[in-house]
Structure 1
Amino acid sequence: MEKKISVIVPVFNVEDYLKACLLSISNQTVQNIEIIVVDDGATDNSGDIADQYAKEDQRVKVLHQLNGGLSAARNTGLDYASGEYVCFIDSDDWIEPDYLEILLEALLKFEADIAVLKMKKIQDYHQITNLTENKNQWELMDRQVAMKNLFMNNKIGYSSNNKLFRSELFLNLRFPVGRLMEDMATTYLLIDRSQLVVVNQSEKYHYFQSPNSILRGSFNPKRLELFDIQNEIIQFIDEKYPDVSVKVRTRTVYAAIRMIMAMIENQYSNRKNFDYVLAFIEKYQDCLNEDPDFSKKLKYLAKFIANHPNMIFSFTRKKIIGNFLSKIEMMR
């Protein structure tokens, strides 16, 4: 009998996108699925749309709750999930018809715990249903290698959305409620519980990158929670994966550089928060010389920022520099 997959869809004020998302899940080539839609206190018609869709597809179960945020909605879905495997789909995203089939076949073939596909970022929602080609090559990573790759490149990524998990990994583990970077706080713990992670570069998960996203709009100080999580990760990695410790620290420097660039781009001139982020560059910049994979250009940039903090902070008040930086894609 085909293994059952629980698909958890958190919903909050996505009436323009929800039907297309649910349709993409219903139309999967894998049929033995349960679709758990968690209405997280939506104030638009999202809840009604979900209820109506449940009448059209008996595999859909709609749960309504007071607004608690993405983590709370996912956790509710996990509490009700009954499948051997579980995945998470954001309600304004779209998956190709063979998305779940590819992931499930890989988990079964390789006896893995987590399967990963690549996310395709879509900024024009009208293009979200464009299909992509399949890539047949899978990369197999044991726990140690997967943990290193999590902090070294984008093969795995923090996101929970482009992955299929063995449900047992979530035993006594849930997403942190009230935190902005819930995936970052959770994915490394799931990898720690796994024996084998398999990765494929097929872009079967289409992620709608809304310009109004909290991570892409005007600078929100809640983004600084990232560094609370980074500190937790550093402590965890130092204890259990010491050979990854340098990678985690250089990743923290990279995150700090990006955060400062976001402050400049958005003309966010809170000196206390600027100095808080700067401190991570100053603290860990020596680790950059120990990481051969870290970009030389970013090493020079980190050093320049650390040596000229007042000049860099002054850029937060200059719109022309912010506009220039907004055109630069920070790549490692």
Structure 2
Amino acid sequence: MQPKISIIVPVYMVEQYLEKCIDSILLQTFTDFELILVNDGSPDNCRSICDSYAMKDQRIKVIHKENGGPSSARNAGIEIACGEYIGFVDSDDYIHERMYEILFDIASKNLSDIVVCDYYKVKNSETHEDGLNPGYTETKGFVNYTNLQVLNLLIDSNLGTFIVAWNKLYRSSLFNYLKYIEGRVYEDLFLAHKIIHKCTKITYTPFKLYYYLQREGSIVNSQYTVEKFDKLYAMKDRANFFRNIKEYQLYEEAIRQYTEVFFWNYYKAKQELPHIRDELNLLKKTMDESILLIMKNKLISWKQKIMILLFVINPSLHEFCKKASENN
């Protein structure tokens, strides 16, 4: 029988966190789900942990695959998912026991394409309040949005709540023609706007039902590497998407945000990373190809435009002027 929800958990190098994650899912008050554990070639004890749980609970499916990163693991889970809805949980995180009960209830009553809850940021030894305080009821505790309303929320404040994959319940048909881009970090930033655009209704509940573990070894908290250029590529991709769907106000704001973070990342990499010339040249091309539209953008000041144009013409001269301005 087809389950209502497919819960996909990409697994890699998390043996000390994995059991807590899986237990929090199996203890859900909502029980009509399948749990898909995707062992992404983890070299630690994750494989045996996944297999052991699968032997205990027939709702669990396990995929063992070569390492391909979080996007590859999510896509592998999506390929075999049977549920009417899909949820994602990162394997070092855990969830409130009523999370999927509440998200599915909201989705069913509101005919939502996506339901979004809020989340706690937690540390290993940290305690936290119950995310349902002061209490969930069927008649309050959620807001419905159109796709364009959420895209405006996302671009106005870059709300991580609407960007990350794991605090949501998605109608599974949203993934019929969309997949996570493999080989990239910031994979959620590449896809969030495209999924949201496909929706008719997105419902948000402010209750904190997901516990997002802050740990030093995660990508977000790691040292600066060239892979962090992916954030810029994702932001540029988002801007281009808005232009392609003719949402020009969103495009102008998206490209403004892109230019604001571009130079910090460019000079951070140039200063700290060796043998980076080719990667910097590729990154620069993303600025070069948008220069005419940047010059027309009403949200970017003329002073910023002159500096951006100077960078496109001669990065060394731009760096000289930038340092001179900072020293004055």
**Aligned match of 1:171 in 146, 168, 176?**
176
1:72 aligned partner, one-letter code = S
Q: Which residue of 2 aligns with 1:145?
A: 149
Q: TM-score scaled to structure 2, two decimals?
A: 0.80
Report the secondary structure of 1:218's partner residue: coil
Q: Structure 1 residues 200, 155: closer, same or farther in 2, change over 3 A? A: farther
1:220 aligned partner, one-letter code = T
Contact 2:236 2:286 in 1 (8 A): no
Moved more, 280-289 or 211-220: 280-289
Q: Structure 1 residues 95, 270: closer, same or farther in 2, change over 3 A? A: same
In structure 2, what is the Cα distance between the partners aligned to 1:270 and 1:44? 32
Q: Which residue of 1 aligns with 2:249?
A: 243
What is the identity percentage for the equivalent residue pairs of Structure 1 and Structure 2? 27
Contact 1:21 1:93 in 2 (8 A): yes
1:254 offset after TM fit, Å? 4.3
In structure 2, what is the Cα distance between the partners aligned to 1:313 and 1:63? 52
Report the secondary structure of 2:211's partner residue: strand
Q: Which residue of 2 aligns with 1:324?
A: none
1:101 offset after TM fit, Å? 1.6
Q: Which runs of 5 or more structure 2 residues have no equivalent in the other structure? A: 311-317
1:79 aligned partner, one-letter code = E
Q: Which residue of 1 aligns with 2:205?
A: 200
Contact 1:10 1:70 in 2 (8 A): yes
Q: Which residue of 2 aligns with 1:108?
A: 108
Q: Which residue of 2 aligns with 1:68?
A: 68
Q: Pairwise CA RMSD of aligned residues?
A: 3.4
Contact 1:6 1:35 in 2 (8 A): yes
1:170 offset after TM fit, Å? 0.5
In structure 2, what is the Cα distance between the partners aligned to 1:231 and 1:40? 29
1:204 offset after TM fit, Å? 1.4
Matched pairs, number = 305
In structure 2, what is the Cα distance between the partners aligned to 1:259 and 1:48? 40
In structure 2, what is the Cα distance between the partners aligned to 1:203 and 1:258? 33
Contact 1:21 1:91 in 2 (8 A): yes
Corresponding position: 1:43 with 2:48: no
Q: TM-score scaled to structure 1, two decimals?
A: 0.79
Moved more, 235-244 or 131-140: 131-140
Moved more, 65-74 or 10-19: 65-74
Q: Which runs of 5 or more structure 1 residues have no equivalent in the other structure? A: 292-298, 315-332
Contact 1:37 1:60 in 2 (8 A): yes
Contact 1:252 1:280 in 2 (8 A): no
Contact 2:39 2:63 in 1 (8 A): yes
User: In the TM superposition, what are the counterparts of 1:1-332 in structure 2 within 5 Å?
Assistant: 4-122=4-122, 124-127=123-126, 131-132=130-131, 133=133, 134=135, 136-153=140-157, 154=159, 156-240=161-245, 241-256=247-262, 259=265, 267-268=272-273, 272=277, 276=283, 290=299, 309-310=319-320
Q: Structure 1 residues 105, 68: closer, same or farther in 2, change over 3 A? A: same
In structure 1, what is the Cα distance between the partners aligned to 2:74 and 2:323? 38
1:157 offset after TM fit, Å? 2.8
1:268 offset after TM fit, Å? 4.8
1:117 offset after TM fit, Å? 1.2
In structure 2, what is the Cα distance between the partners aligned to 1:155 and 1:239? 23
Report the secondary structure of 1:202's partner residue: strand
Q: Structure 1 residues 252, 155: closer, same or farther in 2, change over 3 A? A: same
Report the secondary structure of 2:163's partner residue: coil
Q: Structure 1 residues 302, 68: closer, same or farther in 2, change over 3 A? A: same
Contact 1:71 1:177 in 2 (8 A): yes
In structure 2, what is the Cα distance between the partners aligned to 1:151 and 1:88? 23
In structure 2, what is the Cα distance between the partners aligned to 1:204 and 1:313? 46
In structure 1, what is the Cα distance between the partners aligned to 2:307 and 2:19? 46
